[in-house]
Structure 1
Amino acid sequence: MNVKIAKEAGFCFGVKRAMKMAWNELETNGDIYALGPIIHNKQAVSKYEEKGLKTVEIIDSIPNFKNMIIRSHGVGEKVYKDANEKQINVVDTTCPYVKKIHRIVKTYHDKGYEIIVIGDSKHPEVIGINGWCGDCAKIIKTLDDLDSIKFDNSKKHVVVAQTTINLELYNEIISKLDKKLDNIRFNNTICSATKVRQLSAKELSQEVDCMVVVGGKHSSNTQKLVNICRETVETFAIETKQDLNIDKLKEYQLIGITAGASTPDWIIEDVVEFIESI
């Protein structure tokens, strides 16, 4: 049984930066809150919570004058205002690529443009993006959504995308939007790390007998890798090596491995070593 790892897998720049900033803050202060899970990987989050990180879902759960981490997914404008009112010290680990989307959305919203976000309305990144235009964005997750959303063609529109959205889906949606709306500006804000990871996973899936995708069940970019690999080959989605089906894996000789952008190196290494030991 042989293992081949995708050229691009695991922590992206934004997640690596956020995790380092959060760890440094924990070592300095210890008493700090995170507004939502710092990344979509419960094993990694557990390590930080053991260090003293407190994860909460709403800012009202954070006492005044405390320290608060804004995770890499980013948040809406109101969170910053609420933090200022509560005199909370903000440690902002928002991914710079996501920050760029916030600036685009706010700038064009202030100019009177209608905002369109291609992404999942329930994902924290999209919720945060929507918070920079007063939560009035039209959010498109699938091609079918285009038929149910009403657009005002007399207005100007600007489009941004969730950083982890599938590139092929993005292209299909903007092609339809371009035909539907007369005055529209497109911004391909899909993260470059997302693009190369998806391409790398697709290429590897064509070379192996099966794929193992390592990452959190709630990680958007991880699930997109799973779907991409499944288009080509038998694919197993796992969070840790404990989720592997050994009997099933024994049916294959060459196993490909990739991992979502919020999967730590140590989890990937555990999976590789475990498979190689079978």
Structure 2
Amino acid sequence: MEDKKEDIRVVVAKSAGFCFGVKRAMDIVEGQLAKGEAPIYTWGPIIHNEEVVANLERRGVKVLESEEELLGVRSGTVILRSHGVPKRIYDLLDARGIRYVDVTCPFVKKIHQIVQQADADGRRVIIVGSPDHPEVQGIVGWGDERTRVIGNLGDFLALEASGDLIPGEKITIVSQTTFNHKKFEELVEKIGKMNYSVICVNTICNATQERQDEAEQIASGVDAMIVIGGKNSSNTRKLVEICRSKCKSTYYIQTLKDLKPEKTITVRSVGITAGASTPNQIIEEVSFNVRRKFQGSV
């Protein structure tokens, strides 16, 4: 979507905003709130957007941050977040008889199933992603003690050097759904040339790939690029990385108030994209006010 009114050209990515999994999760949470069956909890933040989570908290949705807090639940409903959770969390909830609603993204659930099947087939699972991300931690929780997480080729070579990996070992490689698509392809190609029996399943979400490709295309043709999303959002940080590789003046913001353009640059065109957990109203507010924010640089 392109708007050429006034002096500054503004291009907003068509793929910006809630992805299918996040929209589905939010719709289910809203449905639970509409029932009025308090209390309602979420296991971790429902999505990686501080504005959304704060709004839900104001409406009575409490975030559980630890298994100790989860064990303290005596009534109400626990909503399992869109990033997915380890198998032991389901087991704990079932054992305690705690009511829960699962809003795990279907694309993440598919990875859980792939990991379980690989284990059953005696294959080592390698997850490409960030070990600190809740989605990856959830995926690890469906594997066995041999499951490992790597973020780059160096991590894989370190496993080799430590003796953790055995030459000729059967390996199944999956990816965090929001990993950089091009980096994943490059990494898998290099591992595939090594002495292992490799099965690679590209589990990067199609929406993620489309979002990254569009962001790169827009950033390549504008003077300034704005990426909107939560500071803890993995897919948003990857968009920032991609955009900064093409546009030096890339701004990473959560809301309009965070946008503070440099006055020393000349801006005739601005691109806007947003992470998968960014509500449309925030995107619209930024796109509506972006010219005013940049007018001092024209």
Instruction: Compute the TM-score of the two structures, normalised by the length of structure 1.
Output: 0.96
Aligned residue number for residue 11 of structure 2: 4
Give the Cα separation in 2 of the matches to 1:200 and 1:246.
23
String of CA shifts for 1:88-112, please: whole Å, max 9, x gaps: 1111000000000000001111221
Q: Percent identity?
A: 42
Aligned residue number for residue 162 of structure 1: 176
Q: Secondary structure at the match of 2:82?
A: coil
| Larger deviation, residues 157-166 vs 1-10 | 1-10
Question: Could you list the runs of 5+ residues in structure 2 that have no partner in the other structure?
Answer: 1-7, 294-298
Aligned residue number for residue 214 of structure 2: 200
Q: How does 1:104-123 map to 2 (within 5 A)?
A: 104-123=114-133
Letter matched to residue 136 of structure 1: R
The CA deviation at 1:143 is 2.2
Give the Cα separation in 1 of the matches to 2:215 and 2:101.
33
Give the Cα separation in 2 of the matches to 1:181 and 1:216.
40
Q: Secondary structure at the match of 1:188?
A: coil
| Larger deviation, residues 123-132 vs 166-175 | 166-175
Question: Could you list the runs of 5+ residues in structure 1 that have no partner in the other structure?
Answer: none
The CA deviation at 1:246 is 4.3
The CA deviation at 1:251 is 3.1
Following superposition, which runs of at least 4 residues in structure 1 exceed 6 angstroms of deviation? none
- The answer to whether structure 1 residue 14 and structure 2 residue 21 are counterparts is yes
1:247–1:194 distance in 2 versus 1, CA, 3 Å? same
String of CA shifts for 1:178-222, please: whole Å, max 9, x gaps: 112331111000000000000000111122111000001110000
Kept in 2, the 8 Å contact 1:38–1:72? The answer is: yes
Aligned residue number for residue 281 of structure 2: 266
- The answer to whether structure 1 residue 74 and structure 2 residue 89 are counterparts is no
- The answer to whether structure 1 residue 219 and structure 2 residue 219 are counterparts is no
Aligned residue number for residue 137 of structure 2: 127
Q: Secondary structure at the match of 1:231?
A: helix
Kept in 2, the 8 Å contact 1:71–1:93? The answer is: yes
Aligned residue number for residue 270 of structure 2: 255
String of CA shifts for 1:59-99, please: whole Å, max 9, x gaps: 33131343111111000100000001111111100000000
Query: Aligned pairs, how many?
Result: 278
Kept in 1, the 8 Å contact 2:255–2:286? The answer is: yes
Aligned residue number for residue 275 of structure 1: 290
Aligned residue number for residue 145 of structure 1: 155
Letter matched to residue 214 of structure 1: I
Instruction: Compute the TM-score of the two structures, normalised by the length of structure 2.
Output: 0.90
| Larger deviation, residues 199-208 vs 144-153 | 144-153
Give the Cα separation in 1 of the matches to 2:264 and 2:220.
17
Aligned residue number for residue 42 of structure 1: 50
Give the Cα separation in 2 of the matches to 1:264 and 1:137.
35
Kept in 1, the 8 Å contact 2:38–2:76? The answer is: no
Match of 2:66 among 58, 72, 75: 58
Task: Look at both structures and tell me which one has the larger radius of gyration over its CA atoms.
Answer: 2
